[in-house]
Structure 1
Amino acid sequence: MRRVLKDLADITATFAQRAAEHRINPSLDRVRQVLDALGDPQEMYPAIVVAGTNGKSSTTRLVDALARAHGIRSGAYTSPHLVSLTERISLDGEHISEQRFVSALNEVYPIVLMMEERIGEKLTGFELMTVLALSEFAAAPMHMAALEIGIGGTWDAVNVVDAQVTAITTIDMDHQKWLGDTIESIAGNKAGVIKPGAISVVQNQVAAALEVVELTANQMQAKLLLQDRDFFVSTTTAVGGQLLNIQTPRENYQDLFLSLHGAHQAVNAATAMVAVENLLDDDEPLDPAAIGHAFETFQMPGRLEVVHRSPTVVIDIAHNPNGAQTLAQGIADSMTFSHLTCVLGVLDDKDSAGIVDALAPIVDEWIITTAPSERAIPANELAAEVSGLLGAARIQVEPDISAAIELAQEMADQSGAGSGVLITGSATVAGAARARYRG
């Protein structure tokens, strides 16, 4: 008897019961066979695939926003989500509704189960979500898709898509258990998204990573468009965001207002612009008015996001040292705090010491909590590590994330004007905070 998935809670439980992508042998065969049984929906529209360590989601969503501003019906697929699974799939600028999510999964799920029985292997939760997104973009239908790689590149489910335009954001150390413990091995995995004869837009990289990316591109006879060689970006802080000057191979765009803070987001915006220019493939520059609309109205939850005023509360999903360094620089460049309290929760496979070192110059007091995840470092263990790095004087422990946020806000209130709260360390921590403040 066919099992019907009743609602979002039922679906969330179904995904949770499936193996995580790093707990199964790396292969694209499972996803390819399921998609083949579904009629290869991923072949029905062009796509831009975004890989990298940090900045993938922002770049993917910026690609989507730019495409829509130019009149293209676009789907976007990103991960992780902050509050609801439905955040991962967007159709023409709107998160998929719960009703449509349930209906769409019930359409493909019987075929997925049939193929799993035939193959003798189950899809991971991420693989199932990827199949759903690719199928729904074809059913909608979308005229293009912006797709974010989950982990790595070569063996990630999204890499079944034959994307003729890809983007590679900053590559750094992360997911070493699955991608290798050197920058070269990580870069090699992420460069696996580069397809034969394709175009890849690449942000500035450390020399070792860039060498691997260039070698892969040469092997694939692909064209690289490199930051500070083929495209350039400069930024000036402005009220509510920043003003960008972006020079691409096709045009010099001036005074573009982007409603995001941080120089890293300026680079992500430029990367997205170059990628969309090449997807359109008409040798014409983008429409400045369309770019302006896309950038002015753009929002990216959980990335240097202010979710409360008086006191100012900022949330960010920074979960590795590079992300934390970028976060710290973004706050230093665009915000002024007389006193900053940080609520920190980290997962057990992350470089927590590196995260703390990166944030320490901007943080005055710490509240250490337990991230809402089975993989969280317990608050007491994380606090002991932070104390060993910074001393115990400025550290408090509150394992409950809601209580930790409440305590941080009280401390900021008591510290007076100009005080703020930063909530970070993982997507689950940022998600819990966003649910509290934004619902």
Structure 2
Amino acid sequence: MIRTFPQAVKFLESFTPAPREKFLGPIALKRMQYLAEIMGSSQFSYPTIHVGGTSGKGSTATIIASILATKYKVGLNTSPHLEKISERIKINGADISDTDFIGLINELIPYIEKMKISKYGKPSTFEITIAGAFLYFKKKKVDVAVFEVGLGGAYDGTNVIRPEVAILTNVGLDHTEILGGTVEKIAKDKVGIIKPGIQVISGVKQASVKKIVQEKCKRQNAKLSLLGRDFNYQIKDMSENGSTFDYFGEKNYRSLSLPLLGEHQIENAALAIRAIEKLSNYPIIPASPVGRQSTNQPIKIANKEIRKGLKSAFIPGRMEVVRKNPLVILDGAHNTDKVQALVKAFGDIYPGKKTIFLVAIKSDKNAKEMLKLITPISKKIIFTEFSMMRDQGKIESYNVAILKTMVRVLKFKGDITAFKDIQEAVRQALSLAKKDDLILVTGSLYLVGEVRREIMNYKV
């Protein structure tokens, strides 16, 4: 019997895969299907929305949930977490409580024990948290649930749901060692979330990837909405306080306010609105022959709910301002596409300004390309390191000496310092910053989670 939250976390961490490859591919999906099945297929108890893509999927999922929560009881499952694993399971924006989380893990233990003696073997930490979300949302009787893909699509643990709407935000080069070294190979995995007859919302831009999405939708008789063709947005204003934009779709919405910073978040919001339009205008379909039955009643979201939901959308660690003097912004950009979006957003909001960067980058990322993007807007760069256990095993960053060498090769003219300890790196960044300076923390969500905790506890 697990009695405390730390015990629950320790228990979950004991299922971290080793080696990681054991939990990838078709066997991983079959294992998740079996786990969900012995638990009663809770994921078929409510309508679902599935959000995949290389970048922006967590933000898009959160925006959708924020809008729906203005009128309905909405479950949201995202990953990874910033500070606590319980962040991954939310209802109407609130994390599952420690008490409920402990109870949920205890409820899952008999199923986990059954899995251990099955032909599939023990589930991974990620699969257990997904199964927990399925069950928790059923117990709490949510009206609808939003699930973010963990990695890829076709064989991801979330792909045992049968969604009413699937969203593919975009496709870029990330996790290439698992998904493939081209956007086309990655896209072929990500379109695996497209199920027969559902609504599909796509923000992909490359012609070759659009073709893959369109062909998959055709094979699945799924109805596709493409950003730029079937719906669009127009920016009216962007500042450090947020953005104002117009949306053009089945309905047009003028002067929508979004507190999230950057054009990429406006694009995510447009994808979210389109998903809700499709959910609002079409009857809920049965998830499976043995699952819930169709009510033929669509979920209805009006203009006022969209406006209210957008205004209340909050995503920690994504262009998040956590301190005003000096100004400190956290952004978990951890691949080239995300850093590119971050740099563009920074330039749009703070034109001509150079910043102090606090950076750590996971060791499997293309650090050279990421650094190439941030050096033009940097006046000082402080490197640090992290090492921790997460779903997929031990997570480690590049050594600071390697990152310093990369920046020197790029002929960066500003100051470069490094502190292996994150606490010390944060202290140094704050002490170096003048009143009108801006500190931008980026390179990894794992770094951002650690820095966020440190900044919130900083007393000066």
With structure 1 as the length reference, what TM-score do the two structures score?
0.94
- Report 1:349-364 matches (<5 A): 349-364=364-379
Matched, 1:366 2:363: no
Q: CA deviation at 1:315?
A: 0.5
Kept after mapping to 2: 8 A contact 1:79/1:148: yes
Kept after mapping to 2: 8 A contact 1:320/1:351: yes
- Report 1:6-405 matches (<5 A): 6-20=3-17, 22-27=21-26, 28-69=29-70, 71-235=71-235, 236-238=237-239, 240-248=241-249, 250-282=250-282, 286-335=301-350, 338-373=353-388, 374-391=395-412, 394-405=415-426
Question: 1:53-105 deviations in whole A, cap 9, x for unaligned?
Answer: 11011100111111111x11100000111100011110122111111111111
For structure 1, list consecutive stretches of 5 or more residues without a partner in the other structure. Answer: none
Structure 1: distance between partners of 2:90 and 2:427: 32
Q: CA deviation at 1:284?
A: 9.4
Kept after mapping to 2: 8 A contact 1:340/1:412: no
Structure 1: distance between partners of 2:411 and 2:3: 49
Q: Which stretch of the first structure deviates more once superposed, 178-187 or 5-14?
A: 5-14
Q: CA deviation at 1:111?
A: 1.4
Alignment correspondent of 2:286: none
Q: CA deviation at 1:286?
A: 3.9
Structure 2: distance between partners of 1:74 and 1:252: 25
Matched, 1:432 2:450: yes
Q: CA deviation at 1:345?
A: 0.2
Q: CA deviation at 1:285?
A: 7.8
The letter of the residue matching 1:401 is I
The letter of the residue matching 2:381 is W
Structure 2: distance between partners of 1:120 and 1:268: 37
Kept after mapping to 1: 8 A contact 2:115/2:123: no
Change (3 A) 1:339 1:205: closer
Q: CA deviation at 1:13?
A: 2.0
Structure 2: distance between partners of 1:393 and 1:226: 42
Structure 2: distance between partners of 1:316 and 1:10: 30
The letter of the residue matching 2:80 is P
Q: CA deviation at 1:124?
A: 1.3
Structure 2: distance between partners of 1:6 and 1:392: 54
The letter of the residue matching 1:313 is V
Structure 2: distance between partners of 1:25 and 1:39: 24
Structure 1: distance between partners of 2:127 and 2:310: 31
Q: Secondary structure at the match of 1:210?
A: helix
Q: Secondary structure at the match of 1:45?
A: coil
Structure 1: distance between partners of 2:138 and 2:352: 47
Q: CA deviation at 1:139?
A: 0.8
Q: CA deviation at 1:338?
A: 4.4
- Paired residues, what number? 431
Change (3 A) 1:382 1:16: farther
Q: Which stretch of the first structure deviates more once superposed, 399-408 or 284-293?
A: 284-293
For structure 2, list consecutive stretches of 5 or more residues without a partner in the other structure. Answer: 283-297, 389-394
Kept after mapping to 1: 8 A contact 2:320/2:330: yes
Kept after mapping to 2: 8 A contact 1:412/1:420: yes
Structure 2: distance between partners of 1:85 and 1:351: 27
Change (3 A) 1:310 1:134: same
The letter of the residue matching 2:15 is R
Q: CA deviation at 1:127?
A: 0.8
Q: Which stretch of the first structure deviates more once superposed, 214-223 or 143-152?
A: 214-223
Q: CA deviation at 1:393?
A: 5.2
Q: CA deviation at 1:372?
A: 4.0
Question: 1:100-122 deviations in whole A, cap 9, x for unaligned?
Answer: 11111111221122123123411
Kept after mapping to 2: 8 A contact 1:339/1:418: no
Question: 1:193-237 deviations in whole A, cap 9, x for unaligned?
Answer: 000111110013212222211121111111110001001111121
Q: CA deviation at 1:25?
A: 4.0
Structure 2: distance between partners of 1:285 and 1:204: 27
The letter of the residue matching 1:317 is G
